[in-house]
Structure 1
């Protein structure tokens, strides 16, 4: 393996600007963060459905799916969680460079880890979306039965029970899933993309 000081960035003829021009959109990452059961995956999936129906090219990276493949070697210690988010950030950056709108659905519980990912993107490209939902409501939903297992001691380092969750300090978007429907949350995110010209308003005219 080569030493880092012997590595050089390869410049390619087809660059990001050309890809975005061909696609008619600007690349960015929609980083959905929140407790388990808050609705991250459901909202991310709905946003992608709507964007896809309007001809916007997207890719959704979901926490469980990534841990079944790329990050299957990682556990849930603070160090492993940090590496999990670092890898997702780098993968997201590649997708954004290709001109895609990337949706990520990860608890990503630590503020510093999320800010570390933000720093690898250009200004405005990292859109942090706080899927706010009280722990009590998330536990009531418990769609995967994980909270009950954590309360029973079957799962260790579970966010919200015996591991911390640090809410975003200044997210670009906040949606409260205890008060808003999935459709309302999705529309709020899409409105942000249109307003900030990641996608053309023409795609939303019937």
Structure 2
């Protein structure tokens, strides 16, 4: 008996959901569209996020959603990933402690599972974790500042565009810093037309 396209799609969705659930059980916090072309990584969580609130649910998330929409991403076309571990479930690795940075291997596993075409590192904590998790790949980049994920430079890591910002949430309080963040983000338009 032939398998229909709908059955294939449902099987793929179920497998993806199982992978995401396994990551969440190990302390990985995510929000948004897991099939998104862009992932926003936040490491410096605000008090609400540290208390278990949704990632990027405040002014920073609204500003990022508006900026991405202006760039051509569909409104639902982003995923937030925390560089800081959340509460672990039953299958958590012993090295994952809530409120501490994710182990680099677990962060890398989460990012590879999401498999975006672009990654925005919203703060220094997120950039530091990316440098550690992808040290080998970054070491192959000839331009030193780009290999170190200097803010505002787009690095290409395993076929992904990676852009580090130097404190997006803090920049919202300063007009000039907001303009700088917008200038950085404009370097990451969608590769294809939004759906």
Judge same fold: TM > 0.5, yes or no. no
The higher-RCO structure (CA 8 Å, 6+ apart) is 1
| TMscore range, shorter length | 0.3 to 0.5
Which has the higher Rg, Structure 1 or Structure 2?
A: 1
TM-score between both structures, scaled by the size of structure 2: 0.40
- With the length of structure 1 as denominator, give the TM-score of the two structures: 0.39
